[in-house]
Amino acid sequence: MIERLAIIGVGMIGSSLALALKQAGVVGHVVGCGRNQHNLEKGIELGVIDSYQLSIVDAVDGADTVVVAVPLGVMKSVFEQISGAITDDMVITDVGSAKASVVRAAKASFGARAGQFVPGHPIAGAEKSGVEAGIASLYQNRRVILTPLDSTDPAAVAKIEQMWRSCGAKIDYLDVEHHDRVLAATSHLPHMLAYSLVNYLSNLNEHDEIFNYAAGGFRDFTRIASSDPVMWRDVCISNSDALLKFIEGYKDELDQVSAAIRNQDGERLLQLFGKAKSERDLLIGNC
C-alpha cells in the first residue's frame, strides 16, 4: 500500500499511473505537482489527484513514494529540489526513457540517499499530453523496465516493482547501458525517422498535395511525429551516443537500398525486403 504518492509532472504517464493505482485500491492520497495550475486543478476535477502543490518540496513532504514524470532536460533540477526533503522511508522513481543521464543526475543530487532511487521506464504512452490524457488501463500487459544499481536498496526496488505490477504491468530488469542501447534502436530511432520524414516532405514545393494524398501507411509511420518535441529533444541529448550509432547504421542500410534502385537490381531489392519482412513477422508478428 502506498500511503501518500507524490507525482511530479501530471501528464499522461503520471495521471495514468495515479488512475491505475486508485483503481487497484493500493494508494491512499495522491498529490500532484507541476507548473501548470490549470492542469492540476483539472486533475482534481477528474479525480486523478487528491491535492496539488506548485512547490516540489511541499509536494514530496510526507510522501512515502515519489514518481518523477518530467522531461529528461529538467530531471536534474527536480532531483535537486527533492534532495533536501528525502526521508528514511521515502522511495523515489522516474519514468524517463534514457537512464544513464537520469542516474548521473540522481547520484549528484541525492548523494548518500541515492540508494532510495529506483530508475524506471514504462514502455507505454501515446502522442497525447496533459492530465486529461490519463488512462487507467495504459499499463495493462505493458512492460516496465527497472534499472536499479548495485547500491539501490532492494526494499525500494521491491516497492516500485509492486507499484507497477498493481497497474497490470510486466516487469523487466536491465542494466542502464543496455537499456539505453535497446531503447535507442526500438524507440528513439523510429521517432527520429518519423520527424525527419515529415520535415523533409513538408519542405517540398508540392507538400500540400503530398499530405492530401497520404495513405494509411504514411499516417501510421508518421503518427509518432505528433509526440512532444520538448521530450524528444531531451531524449536525443540524453541518449546521444547510442542514438547516433543507430542513425549512422540506418544511413548505411538506406544507402544499400539506394544503390539497388540506382542499379535496377531487383534481386537485391527482393533480398532486402524479403529479409525485413521475415524478421518483422518472426519478432513482432504479421499485424
Residues 6 or more apart whose CB falls under 8 angstroms from that of 27 comprise: 1, 2, 5, 18, 21
More confident site: 216 or 114: 114
CA distance 130 to 42: 10
What's the pLDDT band for 78 if we cut at 50, 70, 90?
very high
What's the pLDDT band for 65 if we cut at 50, 70, 90?
very high
Residues 6 or more apart whose CB falls under 8 angstroms from that of 161 comprise: 146, 171
The mean predicted confidence, pLDDT, of the chain is 94
pLDDT at 138 over 80: yes
pLDDT at 34 over 60: yes
Residues 6 or more apart whose CB falls under 8 angstroms from that of 204 comprise: 210
pLDDT at 176 over 80: yes
46-57 pLDDT, tens digit per residue, is 999 999 999 999
Could you give the 3-state DSSP secondary structure of residue 258? helix
**Residue 26 class from Cβ within 10 Å (0-12 exposed, 13-18 middle, 19+ buried)?**
middle
In the chain, CATH 3.40.50.720 sits at: 2-174
What is the CA angle 67-238-144, rounded to 5?
Answer: 40
Least confident among 5-9, 138-142, 160-164, 204-208: 204-208
Task: Say if domain 178-283 classifies as CATH 2.60.120.10.
Answer: no
In the chain, CATH 1.10.3660.10 sits at: 178-283
User: Which amino acid is located at 242 in the chain?
Assistant: A
**Residue 53 class from Cβ within 10 Å (0-12 exposed, 13-18 middle, 19+ buried)?**
middle
264-275 pLDDT, tens digit per residue, is 999 999 999 999
Least confident among 59-73, 146-160, 195-209: 195-209
In CATH terms, the fold of domain 2-174 is Rossmann fold (3.40.50)
pLDDT at 278 over 80: yes
pLDDT of residue 216: 82
CA distance 25 to 78: 28
Q: Quick one: which H or E segment has residue 124?
A: none
User: Quick one: average pLDDT of 157-173?
Assistant: 98
Kindly state the percentage of the chain with pLDDT values over 70. Answer: 98
Least confident among 20-29, 159-168, 201-210: 201-210
C-alpha cell at 120: 524506471
220-271 pLDDT, tens digit per residue, is 889 999 988 999 999 999 999 999 999 999 999 999 999 999 999 999 999 9
CA distance 204 to 149: 48
Q: In what order do the strands lie in the sheet with 143-146?
A: 120-122, 143-146, 170-173
